[in-house]
Amino acid sequence: MNSSVLPSRATARLVLRPFTMADAEVLCEIVNEPDIFQYFPSKATWLLEKCERYINYQTRHWENLGYGHWAVTLAETGQLIGWCGLEFLPDTKETEVGYLLSKPFWGRGYATEAANASVQFGKKDIRLQEIIGLTDPLNVASQKVLEKNGLVFTRKQIYFGMEMFRFATQA
């Protein structure tokens, strides 16, 4: 897949589009917000170089697999507010829907909206058999996002070295 023609998606309030290097500095601001990774396996914030590596990784992921994370932007202003999309997990051969939004945008339904576009893309456009979602057992808000998108709790399982709640789409 040519990186210049990676797909985008629009929702009622968001545009999910491919990342570009022009997003690196704003992404770096987001991932350095206090406690932004409180429910992630690694709590460490990222330097600009890691943000650039993440963008390059996601571009290659799209090119190699036909899916990946999108930059989540506000439709009205174009402001980058985080990421959302699908990622292949090589250790388990599963595809996960994942999302991270800047803290001022939590609790407004944006994660649900972006995750819905990602799940629908995975099911309808690329016909994935199953999409999983992983959350820290304490992250009730993220669990609700997954449930609103049709994923159901399947089990507790170790992913990325920590116990997670695993959700999955229904066949």
- pLDDT tens digits, one per residue of 79-118: 999 999 999 999 999 999 999 999 999 999 999 999 999 9
Q: What is residue 45's predicted lDDT score, i.e. its pLDDT?
A: 84
Q: What is residue 170's predicted lDDT score, i.e. its pLDDT?
A: 78
**pLDDT surpasses 60 at 4:** no
Cα(146)–Cα(170) distance, rounded to whole angstroms? 12
Report the CATH superfamily, name and number, of domain 3-131.
Answer: Gcn5-related N-acetyltransferase (GNAT) (3.40.630.30)
Cα(16)–Cα(133) distance, rounded to whole angstroms? 19
Judge residue 40's burial from the number of C-beta atoms within 10 Å of its C-beta, 0-12 exposed, 13-18 middle, 19 or more buried. middle
The percentage of residues in the chain with a pLDDT greater than 70, rounded to a whole number, is 97
Average pLDDT over all residues of the chain:
95
Q: What is residue 81's predicted lDDT score, i.e. its pLDDT?
A: 98
Count the Cβ atoms, other than its own, within 10 Å of residue 155: 9
Sequence spans of domains, the chain:
3-131
Question: Mean pLDDT across the stretch 17-44?
Answer: 94
